[in-house]
């Protein structure tokens, strides 16, 4: 990891969230402490704070950070959008990945946008017992629905097939039949979308595993 890059990003983060601290732990960076914020959520002013820990992998921004709330305030259950391993579910990973790639200060942007938005919305949910902007589907089901739209396919199985091609980095020739089974040539079917996603450094394996688990549990 480029420590100078993380240090510069952290300087920006600390200007806004002055109780957060940065430590390097081997190859990874760990940012932890109190994050306090004032936000407008659905015309309600949310002023709150949480105790959090952000693990920033040494491959950031090619790999996303993991965020935990470490004060036992947010129950570790899917209705609170917390994953079984205790990490917060800030949204669809590929969507977050695509957004942070476009930003010049990806780590500051990640904290200031995704983490603060999630916590502000959770704070709202805690008081009013509903999510302010409606709820997106959690875990494998949410990811599955995201890819149904992204790939423009109708079935879970096709999502699995196309995601596997991305995860395993399988190459198709333009004049081959498209693996989606449409009987069209690859170049006239999924080449554009798979080509675009395949060029990124995003790790599709995690998504493939979650989608596979969800399909197995819900198709039988």
Residues, the chain, total?
220
Indicate whether 164 belongs to the interface with Zn ion (CB under 5 A).
Answer: no
Binding mask 93-122 for Zn ion (x = CB under 5 A): ------------------------------
Q: Is 88 helix (H, G, I), strand (E, B) or coil?
A: strand
Residues in contact with Zn ion, total (CB under 5 A)? Answer: 8
- Tell me: does residue 138 bind Zn ion (CB under 5 A): yes
Structure tokens at 143: 């990811």
Asked if 81 interacts with Zn ion (CB under 5 A), we say yes
Report residue 160 as tokens.
Answer: 């699995």
Residue span binding Zn ion (CB under 5 A) among the ranges 31-39, 65-73, 170-178, 211-219? 170-178
Task: Report the run of H or E that residue 21 belongs to, with start and end.
Answer: strand 20-25
Is 189 near Zn ion (CB under 5 A)?
A: yes
Q: Which is nearer to Zn ion, 61 or 93 (CB)?
A: 93
Of 101, 78, 75, whose CA–CA distance to 89 is shortest? 78
Mention every residue, 6+ apart, whose C-beta is less than 8 A from residue 147.
Answer: 159, 162, 163, 207, 211
If one asks whether residue 89 binds Zn ion (CB under 5 A), the answer comes out as: yes
**Residue 88 within binding range of Zn ion, rule CB under 5 A:** no
Q: Does 191 bind Zn ion (CB under 5 A)?
A: no
Distance CA 165, CA 167 (A): 6
Q: How far is the CB of 90 from Zn ion (least distance, A)?
A: 8
What's the rounded Cα separation, in Å, for the pair 77 and 217?
18
Q: Any contact of residue 180 with Zn ion (CB under 5 A)?
A: yes
Single out the residue of 178, 208, 210, 215 in contact with Zn ion (rule: CB under 5 A).
178
Return the DSSP state at 87: B
Give, as ranges, the residues between 18 and 77 that touch Zn ion (CB under 5 A).
none
Cβ(157)–Cβ(218) below 8 Å: no
Contact segment (CB under 5 A) with Zn ion among 21-29, 32-40, 49-57, 83-91 equals: 83-91
Which of 190, 191, 194, 204 forms a contact with Zn ion (CB under 5 A)? 190
């Amino acid at each position: 990891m480029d420590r100078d890059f993380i240090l510069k990003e952290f300087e920006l983060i600390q200007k806004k969230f002055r109780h957060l601290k940065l430590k390097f732990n081997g190859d990874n960076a760990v940012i932890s402490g109190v994050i306090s914020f004032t936000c407008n959520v659905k015309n309600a002013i949310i002023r709150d704070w949480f105790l959090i820990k952000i693990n920033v992998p040494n491959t950031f921004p090619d790999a996303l950070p993991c965020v935990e709330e470490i004060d036992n305030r947010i129950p570790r259950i899917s209705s609170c959008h917390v994953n079984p391993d205790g990490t917060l579910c800030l949204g669809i990973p590929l969507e977050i990945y695509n957004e942070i790639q476009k930003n010049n200060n990806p780590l500051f942007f990640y904290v200031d946008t995704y983490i603060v938005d999630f916590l502000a919305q959770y704070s709202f949910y805690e008081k009013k017992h509903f999510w302010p902007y409606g709820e997106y589907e959690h875990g494998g089901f949410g990811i599955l629905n995201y890819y149904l739209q992204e790939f423009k396919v109708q079935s879970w199985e096709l999502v699995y097939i196309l995601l596997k091609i991305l995860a395993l980095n399988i190459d198709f020739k333009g004049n081959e039949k498209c693996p989606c089974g449409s009987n069209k040539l690859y170049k006239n079917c999924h080449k554009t979308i798979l080509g675009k996603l395949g060029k990124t450094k995003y790790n599709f394996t995690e998504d493939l595993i979650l989608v596979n688990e969800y399909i197995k549990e819900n198709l039988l």
